[in-house]
């Protein structure tokens, strides 16, 4: 049994569990495999400093895999959200609602209240105008502006990495 501090052992176990489920770019896995080799040596020697030093790049790669997975999930349809349909009538309805709001503001308090209601009416019109774009259009716009994740393919842990994770967990 390896004599590492309990909190460090828990951290190693948690990181390895997360790494097992992570999806990383194909080019990142060889570096992770090398870091896992250093981690295995540190665990075998019961060297907390070596374990911590090897755990840092593995934790960074695991975090990157989690973030990439969440960003890539933004391109999938959410389970409880109905897909939006393009509706060209929304701007007309928004403009009519804005005009009614400004009129009611004027009738209730004159031009000063109507001016305040105009700002809110402009917001309503903007929401209605934004509703004319479909989910696909918004996703394409995000990608064109570089706001979405890269299209670099990711893959689960290769066999070499999975075997190294199993070996380290057996040592803990």
pLDDT of the residue at 23: 79
Same domain (yes/no): 31, 62? yes
Q: What is the residue range of 118's domain?
A: 90-132
Residue 59 domain-assigned (yes or no): yes
Write down the pLDDT at residue 1.
Answer: 43
Asked if the structure places residue 142 within a domain, the reply is no
**Torsion (CA) 134, 136, 137, 138 in degrees, nearest 10:** 90
Domain match, 48 and 101 both: no
Q: What is the total count of domains within the chain?
A: 2
Chunked mean pLDDT (size 10), the chain, 172 residues = 78 89 81 90 89 90 79 52 55 80 87 85 78 63 53 73 86 79
Residue 86 forms beta bridges with which residues? none
44 part of a folded domain? yes
Does residue 72 contact residue 149 with C-beta atoms inside 8 Å? yes
For residues 12 and 63, membership in a common domain is answered with: yes
The answer as to whether 151 is a domain residue is no
H helix or E strand, kind and range, residue 129:
helix 90-130
| Token duo for residue 156 | 């689960």
């Amino acid at each position: 049994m390896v004599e590492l501090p309990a909190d460090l052992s828990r951290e190693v176990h948690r990181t390895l569990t997360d790494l097992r489920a992570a999806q990383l770019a194909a080019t990142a896995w060889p570096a992770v495999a090398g870091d896992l080799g250093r981690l295995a040596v540190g665990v075998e020697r019961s060297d907390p400093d070596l374990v911590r030093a090897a755990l840092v790049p593995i934790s960074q790669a695991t975090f990157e895999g989690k973030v990439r997975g969440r960003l890539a999930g933004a391109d999938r349809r959410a389970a409880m959200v109905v897909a939006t349909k393009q509706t060209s009538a929304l701007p007309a309805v928004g403009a009519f609602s804005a005009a009614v709001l400004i009129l009611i503001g004027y009738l209730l308090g004159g031009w000063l209240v109507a001016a305040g209601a105009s700002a809110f009416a402009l917001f309503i019109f903007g929401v209605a105008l934004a509703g004319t774009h479909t989910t696909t259009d918004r996703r394409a716009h995000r990608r064109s502006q570089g706001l979405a994740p890269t299209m670099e393919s990711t893959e689960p842990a290769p066999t070499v990495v999975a075997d190294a994770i199993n070996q380290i967990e057996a040592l803990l």
